[in-house]
Amino acid sequence: MELIDTHAHLTAPEFAQDLPSVLQQAWESGVVAIICVGYDVPSSKAAVTLAEQEPRVFATVGVHPNAVAQAPNGWEREVEALARHERVVAIGETGLDFYRAATPHDQQKRALAWHLELAARLSRPVIVHNREADEALEATLVPWAESRGGAWGQGVLHAFSGRPSLMERCTRVGFLVSFF
């Protein structure tokens, strides 16, 4: 069996001192590829750089809903430029997080809509975070996926903890689901 880690934050400060060792342990354990997920502009840049250096690492780029309020002006241009890189395989981490108060809900919704539009333009799946925002997320994701034909491969609902009805509705329109 081949294993692919579909959501790793290898650019997080916790890995700065021992990233080569972490990667070596993964390869020795049978992991054949890792998707390094960007969650703000610096981590997205670092994910692309790491993917350029390590052939078994691929990148995603985006701004996490909790990071949108602190994102620099023009973050969208930077993320879009990174998203066009050949080693980028998805857009995100994006989504909605109504549990934390780091970013106002309306700002999160605009950022999610922007990420989805970018994913559609570039024909990329999305990595979606959701925390206590089931209804708003469903109201955005389902029509977006249906507009793309509702085929498999729309993206992943990452670390899913929502209602079963949200999971059922999103899987019907092409999303995969991962759990804690």
**CATH code assigned at 167:** 3.20.20.140
CA distance 134 to 162: 6
Is pLDDT above 80 for 142? yes
Number of independent structural domains in the chain: 1
Question: Among 123, 113, 103, which Cα is nearest to 76's?
Answer: 113
CA distance 21 to 78: 30
CA distance 71 to 109: 15
| Range scoring the smallest mean pLDDT among 79-88, 135-144, 147-156 | 147-156
| pTM of the model as a whole | 0.95
Interval 39-58: pLDDT, tens: 999 999 999 999 999 999 99
Interval 66-97: pLDDT, tens: 999 999 999 999 999 999 999 999 999 999 99
Q: What pLDDT band is residue 105 in, cutting at 50, 70 and 90? A: very high
Domain extent, residue 31, equals: 3-179
